[in-house]
């Protein structure tokens, strides 16, 4: 689906205006400060900036909202990532005794990327999305939100559109922020059902009896499956897609006939109730490594996606089915740049160059 009139080449001119006039610094600080739950909670939070020309600056930290604002308006990052709460100020990590700089807390996070669904969508591939395959993100949010609230008792969940092809979830409860790596891994594994890489044909294994969590997830999938799989993706309409379905379909629900395998037909009513097929096509595909690590970075809400210009906006879970990733705000402006803006933009470019020269350091790989 076509993007708006956004031109990636205009990003250096637009970012200074965005960070000076539109970025919600006050609400952003209130969220990450959590009401000052403990001393230096915000101050010990890691931020990572990706600057122009892929200059990657890790271990940024700020003493206040004002300092955060000034630095972001000076550096105009192309991307912002949020990390953990550390034992010491991240920007002083090189001065701390070896081994004592430790990640202590972070929100429990989940990352769902549409590229992980390429084997079950025919409308798009790679980074491309459309309204037909976006249904997969809607299903993922509904399944995970229900499980995190009802099965684990979490209350404070922030769902965010990534700005291009996926969604992120930030579980902000104090209990979630304090989870150990082992506990995070246990939650992630509980929620993970799709197993195996591209070479694995059957990615869903169900035990008998089916776990209540799986049954609750199936209830969500069932609401979307017929429209998504049989209409939007037309999984029984092309030779290749039919072969995939047949490979997943138990023999007892295939019509017996003498035709070659590809010409066999599948009972749609039985296919609808074939749990493994429904789950393989529609169940959330998690990047569990993002969820397991306390020190793993995740793209910040309200960050700008450089290639699409779209803002990583929170998703209203109460109006989920109406969410349209192509209708979210973009950084493109509908008015000419004013003289003051042009002057400030030029000044910002100079600051960017100076900052890059001073701090052209590469962060550790995540």
The tokens for 235 are 């999984």
The single residue of 13, 81, 111, 232 carrying the catalytic annotation is 111
- Is position 334 annotated as part of the catalytic site? no
The single residue of 13, 81, 105, 113 carrying the catalytic annotation is 113
The single residue of 13, 46, 107, 352 carrying the catalytic annotation is 46
- Is position 113 annotated as part of the catalytic site? yes
Cα(144)–Cα(293) distance, rounded to whole angstroms? 19
Kindly write down the DSSP assignment for every residue of 143-172, as one continuous string.
Answer: HHHHIIIIIT----EEEEE-SSSEEEEEE-
CB within 8 Å of 289: residues ≥ 6 apart: 296
Region for 215 from its dihedrals, namely left if φ exceeds 0, alpha if ψ lies in -120 to 50, beta otherwise? alpha
Cα(263)–Cα(227) distance, rounded to whole angstroms? 23
Kindly write down the DSSP assignment for every residue of 71-82, as one continuous string.
Answer: HHHHH--SEEEE
Task: Count CB-CB contacts under 10 A for residue 282.
Answer: 25
Calculate the dihedral angle through the C-alpha atoms of 89, 178, 283, 247, rounding to the nearest 10 degrees.
Answer: 90
Cα(314)–Cα(312) distance, rounded to whole angstroms? 7
Alpha-carbon 42 to chain mean position: 23
Residue found by looking up tokens 């979490």 in the block: 154
What residues form DSSP beta bridges with 168? Answer: 111, 160
Catalytically active residues, by annotation: 46, 111, 113
């Amino acid at each position: 689906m076509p993007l708006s009139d956004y031109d990636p080449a205009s990003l250096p001119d637009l970012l200074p205006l965005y960070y000076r006039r539109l970025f919600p610094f006050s609400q952003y600080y209130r969220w990450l400060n959590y009401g000052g739950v403990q001393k230096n909670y915000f101050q010990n939070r890691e931020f990572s900036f990706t600057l122009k020309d892929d200059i990657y600056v890790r271990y940024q930290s700020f003493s206040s909202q004002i300092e955060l604002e000034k630095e972001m308006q000076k550096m105009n990052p192309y991307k912002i990532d949020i990390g953990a709460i550390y034992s010491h100020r991240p920007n002083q990590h090189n001065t701390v005794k070896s081994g004592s700089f430790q990640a202590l807390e972070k929100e429990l996070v989940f990352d769902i990327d549409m590229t992980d669904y390429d084997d079950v969508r025919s409308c798009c591939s790679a980074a491309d999305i459309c309204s037909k395959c976006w249904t997969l993100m809607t299903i993922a949010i509904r399944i995970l939100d229900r499980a995190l609230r009802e099965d684990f008792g979490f209350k404070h969940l922030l769902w965010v559109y990534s700005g291009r092809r996926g969604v992120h979830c930030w579980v902000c409860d104090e209990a979630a922020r304090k989870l150990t790596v082992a506990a995070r891994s246990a939650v992630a594994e509980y929620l993970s059902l799709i197993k195996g890489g591209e070479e694995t044909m059957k990615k869903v294994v169900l035990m008998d009896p089916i776990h209540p969590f799986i049954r609750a997830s199936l209830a969500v999938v069932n609401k979307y499956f017929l429209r998504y799989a049989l209409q939007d993706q037309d999984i029984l309409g092309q030779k290749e897609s039919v072969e995939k379905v047949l490979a997943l379909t138990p023999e007892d629900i295939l019509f017996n006939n003498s035709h070659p395998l590809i010409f066999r037909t599948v009972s749609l009513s039985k296919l609808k109730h074939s749990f493994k097929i429904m789950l393989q096509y529609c169940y959330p595909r998690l990047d569990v490594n993002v969820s397991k690590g306390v020190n793993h970075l995740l793209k910040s809400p309200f960050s700008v996606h450089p290639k699409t210009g779209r803002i990583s906006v929170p998703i209203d879970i109460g109006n989920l089915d109406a969410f349209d990733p192509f209708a979210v705000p973009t950084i493109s402006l509908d008015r000419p740049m004013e003289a003051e803006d042009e002057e400030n933009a030029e000044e910002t470019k100079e600051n960017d160059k100076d900052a890059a020269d001073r701090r052209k350091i590469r962060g550790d790989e995540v």
